[in-house]
Chain A
Amino acid sequence: MSALLEVKNLYVDLLLPAGRLHAVRDVSFTVAKGETLSLVGESGCGKSMTALAIMNLLPAGAIRRAETLLFEGRDLTASCEGDMLGIRGARMAMIFQEPMTSLDPCYTIGNQLEEALLEHRKVSKKEARERAVYLLEKVGITAAASRLKQYPHQLSGGLRQRVMIAMGLMCGPSLIIADEPTTALDVTIQAQILALLASLQSEFEMGLILITHDLGVVSRVADYLAVMYCGQVVETGHAKEIFQNPTHPYTRGLIDCIPAPGKTQPGQELGSIPGMVPTPIGDLRGCSFRNRCALAHGACRLDDIELVEFAPGRRYRCVLSLDELAAEYGRM
């Protein structure tokens, strides 16, 4: 299947008073129709910046470079803002993290839902309204027609997030980027929203980029996984394989951090990654994870480390070879 979105060697730099911050470094991935790619990592690892770079919504002063940024065969690096206006919202849509703050409190739900469709397609107000009602019902909102007249503050968090999803789907996009879509929600509603996203995705054959720090969420919905650290992808591959056999020390650390009923013993010390994420300013040679890594040694600081393919579709970024890593993990 041909790729819906192809990103190759994407870089994003932010110019800050303290210096040039390398927010995204050499990130490459592809998303095909009907597939879910998950970008995972801690806050500040560049996962949201990657999404914003694709949408060309980066903050002022950010610099984007990419060898390839192909979306549905169009080169986004060569697209001007006018072209992007035609693509954004129509062909690719974004669902933001905070349903509380990303809806406009001054407009009704109906107004906000219909806006994108009226902007992008030649439709009448009536058709737009029908589409809005249809989608609100699709995302599981009852009495959809009467909801259109309501304002965001009249809805609960779960409902607002559903409205956000419906809004993303209004123009029938082929790619959805969901940035922490369930982080602000209760656990009970989280499961429902994720199930909803997954079913809509298969129904409309959309590509989905799911950005989250919650490995529990990732393991249940993602087909492919890219683990990011300090702006770089440190491990990528089939989600299932990565969970069964994490290769990079960081991925392993992340998975060990989570208390899981049945796997971790109550009260037992959880695995944790000491220290904190360095700020990617200045000289970034060597492995960015080395000062938090239990397996770090002298070679880690020397040179940039390549993302190496070691099995079909699986890549990792570490100076240690697979055998060395396996030996280290065996000893732990």
Chain B
Amino acid sequence: MTEPILRIEDLRKTYLVSSGVFKGQQALKAVNGVSLTVPKGSVLGLVGESGCGKTTVAKLVLGLEKTSGGKIYIDGRSLSSISPKDVARQVQPVFQDPYSSLNPRKSIAKIISLPLRALGLAGMRGQWEAKVNEIMEIVGLPPRLKYNYPNQLSGGQRQRVAVARALIMRPEVVICDEPTSALDVSVQAQILNLLLKLRRELNLTYVIITHDLAVVEHMATRVAVMYLGRIVEEADTQALFAHPRHPYTLALLASILTPDPELGLPETHLGIAYPNPIDPPPGCTFHPRCPKADDRCASVVPRPTIADDRLVECHYPY
């Protein structure tokens, strides 16, 4: 088997959180032993509720945060052994909110070409301008917007700028953190179509982080479900959607609201309480919300079991 473009082994990130003036610091395990393999050209969907650590994984892979443990390999090379600039050449982000992720005081051409200039690859003005023109055409931005500023652009156009900025380095991996959740539905469809087209044309690898499972099903080839810093289920998209094995995955799938007036509101049996990550429940961290939980779940931590190319971390999988 060829080396995957992105491989994560037992990744950990612990933040120290102050819980009060005289109480000292407590450890918050945002990412608690995550292993993932992303082959070239595939799309990994990372899903979970807010606070489950999916964005922290993205930050670690981008080298924006230091890991507390574990290894990240990009194209076979350990992230800790290569310089941040080399990381930036291979991994680029697209963030959630195109209203706050673009510098309002820079023109569109400057924003898009920033990675080139930051890495000293820009060369003469004529050279980077040509690259900017090319990438703007690829993502469907009219060239007349080059000297405009972000506030003159619509949400969809801004997100295209973010995609263009990510792609100008021709990275191998693009990490999209909630790429469409700040956008209107009609614009969301445009951006999703664009991402799919770019993947086909440039043979890109995506890690798409989202809580919208309908988007994941549409885009991803493989899905990892995260809960409290751990991956509780991972499988190929079709297998996962056809036959979810972890009770949490089942609840997430049940809560997708597709436009179907025949169906009522789903009952997810989840309760409201997302546990406090500073003080996670003992045993299986999902057991207080799980309809199948029993004494064993409350005391024994489940280990991941791998069968048929899918992983599930549950004592009583479906």
Contact = CB atoms under 8 A, between A and B. Distances in A.
Task: Report if A and B associate in a common complex.
Answer: yes
Interface of A: 42-43, 140, 156-159, 162, 186-192, 194-195, 198, 213-221, 239-240, 243-244, 253-264, 266-267, 269-274, 276
B214 A261 contact: yes
A266 B242 CA distance: 13
A219 B211 contact: no
B255 A188 contact: yes
A62 to B, nearest CB: 23
Contacts of B185: 42, 213-215, 254, 257-258
A260 B49 contact: no
Nearest to B270: A188
Interface string B151-164: 00011110000000
Contacts of B187: 42, 276
Contacts of B272: 140, 156, 158-159, 162, 189, 192
B258 A42 contact: no
Interface residues on chain B, size class: 35 or more
A272 B189 contact: yes
Nearest to B289: A188
Contact of A220 (B217, B218, B241, B257): B257
A243 B49 contact: no
A195 B265 contact: yes
A271 B257 contact: no
Contacts of B192: 259, 270
B179 to A, nearest CB: 13
Interface in B197-248: 211-215, 217-219, 237-238, 241
Contacts of A192: 268, 270, 272
25 contacts: A42-B184, A42-B185, A42-B186, A156-B274, A187-B256, A188-B251, A189-B272, A190-B257, A191-B265, A191-B267, A214-B257, A215-B259, A216-B257, A243-B261, A257-B186, A258-B185, A258-B259, A259-B218, A260-B260, A263-B258, A266-B218, A269-B193, A270-B218, A274-B190, A276-B156
A206 B301 CA distance: 46
A254 B265 contact: no
A276 B154 contact: yes
Contacts of B196: 267, 269
A261 B253 CA distance: 10
Contacts of A273: 186, 189
Interface of B: 49-50, 154-157, 184-190, 192-193, 196, 211-215, 217-219, 237-238, 241, 251-252, 254-268, 270, 272, 274
Contacts of B260: 219-220, 243, 260
Given A192-B272, A258-B259, A267-B219, A220 B189 contact: no
Interface centre among B190, B237, B251, B257 (most CB of A within 10 A): B257
Contact of B213 (A158, A159, A187): A187
A219 B261 contact: yes
Contacts of B218: 259, 264, 266-267, 270
Please list the 8 inter-chain residue pairs (A to B) with the smallest Cβ-Cβ separation, ordered nearest first.
Answer: A216-B257, A259-B218, A272-B189, A257-B189, A273-B186, A260-B258, A270-B189, A42-B184
A186 to B, nearest CB: 4
A220 B261 contact: yes
B180 to A, nearest CB: 10
Nearest to A189: B272
Contacts of B238: 266
Given A187-B49, A220-B263, A243-B259, 4 more contacts: A159-B272, A240-B261, A259-B214, A272-B193
Given A187-B213, A192-B270, A269-B196, A216 B259 contact: yes
